[in-house]
Amino acid sequence: MRKGSKKSWKGVVPMELVLEDITKKYKDKTAVQNVSATLHSGQLIGLIGKNGAGKTTLLKLLSTILKPTSGRILLDGQDIVKNPNVMRSTVGYLPQEVSAYPNLTVLEYLSYIASVKGIKKKDAEKQINSLLADFHLENARGKCMGNCSGGMKQRVGIICALLGDPQIIIIDEPTTGLDPEERIAVRNILSRLSRERIVILSTHIVSDIEAVASRILLLQQGSLVFNGSPEELIAKAKGCVWEYMLPSLQENMKGISSMVQTEKGIHIRQVSRKKPWEQAVPVNSTLEDACLFVMEG
Ligand code: ADP
């Protein structure tokens, strides 16, 4: 049992990860600003934000690759900035850019990663076989990494993060390069794993995690602008999503959620507190509308 852990839950020790007023500056650039949140086992957390919002920086802070400029990160009450091994012994992290080992086969690569993680050979074999099956990669075990498709490499990367059965799983943009079927498979596996773990996935594509996230953290220019359930986020934009047709585009249109050219004109979906156009009709909000609504302030 980890030091500081109090009670057992379904045979697994539940964890609490607390971010206390985290700020990270790169010289004069503030990438993450005063972020506070408390995360628990049993959650699949979707970290959403546009490119440059600070997602990768925040994930690197949680994985102890970076140190915050100020603030504390506590895992079950232990400061992971002062004691990074507390986190390192329990986290599986897949960065956005994974090192390439083109000459190693998938099996050799996974065995190598398992040995770096200190997993015994027999356990490693068992875990690798089971994960290769989960990710539909059994037939790729003898394939050189250099000959694998982007989707295959991404799935191999996720397997690396899962080797050693980490209790905290952090994956930066997990569905990059995956086809729709692979996306669903990966999402379902991570969703299953999150029942007893903390799983954090970052994405700039809201629909990627819409179906599985139980918690949303929305980052905008380094600040946390929403922290709650997907339902709470959707409720924020209730009554503020509109659809209408326009003959042509207007200047300075804000809050455009989608825009589709049709034979009759341009079909607009827009988030706005006020009715944006005479013929606009209110429609139900999606998570994507709600993210836009919150970010547009
Ligand atoms: P995201 O993952 O949401 O795209 P990042 O965390 O990569 O965002 O970046 C957040 C901000 O910090 C961006 O403005 C980016 O340019 C800047 N940034 C990231 N890494 C560095 C770095 N090593 N040095 C300076 N600025 C950086």
Nearest residue by C-alpha to atom 24 in ligand 1: 26
What is the per-residue pLDDT for 196?
92
Nearest residue by C-alpha to atom 15 in ligand 1: 52
Nearest residue by C-alpha to atom 25 in ligand 1: 26
Q: Which of 4-8, 30-34, 240-244, 265-269 has the lowest mean pLDDT?
A: 4-8
Nearest residue by C-alpha to atom 12 in ligand 1: 31
Mean pLDDT of 206-218: 90
* Coil, helix or strand at residue 50: coil
Percent of all residues in the chain with a pLDDT value above 90, rounded to a whole number: 74
User: Is any ligand 1 atom within 6 A of the Cβ of residue 228?
Assistant: no
CA atoms within 13 A on the CB side of 119: 21
CA of 29, closest atom in ligand 1? 26
What is the per-residue pLDDT for 101?
84
Mean pLDDT of 253-264: 90
Are 159 and 7 in contact, with CB atoms under 8 Å apart? no
Distance CA 165, CA 187 (A): 17
Mean pLDDT of 271-291: 94
What is the per-residue pLDDT for 208?
81
Residue 4 has pLDDT above 60, yes or no: no
Please tell me which residue, 249 or 296, carries the higher pLDDT value.
296
User: Is any ligand 1 atom within 6 A of the Cβ of residue 28?
Assistant: no
Distance CA 86, CA 78 (A): 7
What are the angstrom distances between the C-alpha of 288 and each of 29, 234, 295? 28, 8, 11
CA of 172, closest atom in ligand 1? 2
Mean pLDDT of 188-198: 92
Distance 48 CA to ligand 1 centre (A): 15
CA of 58, closest atom in ligand 1? 6
Dihedral angle over CA of 60, 64, 66, 69, nearest 10: 110
Are 295 and 204 in contact, with CB atoms under 8 Å apart? no
CA of 202, closest atom in ligand 1? 2
Distance 185 CA to ligand 1 centre (A): 29
Please tell me which residue, 116 or 217, carries the higher pLDDT value.
217
User: Is any ligand 1 atom within 6 A of the Cβ of residue 255?
Assistant: no
Q: Which of 9-18, 136-145, 146-155, 206-215 has the lowest mean pLDDT?
A: 9-18
User: Is any ligand 1 atom within 6 A of the Cβ of residue 54?
Assistant: yes
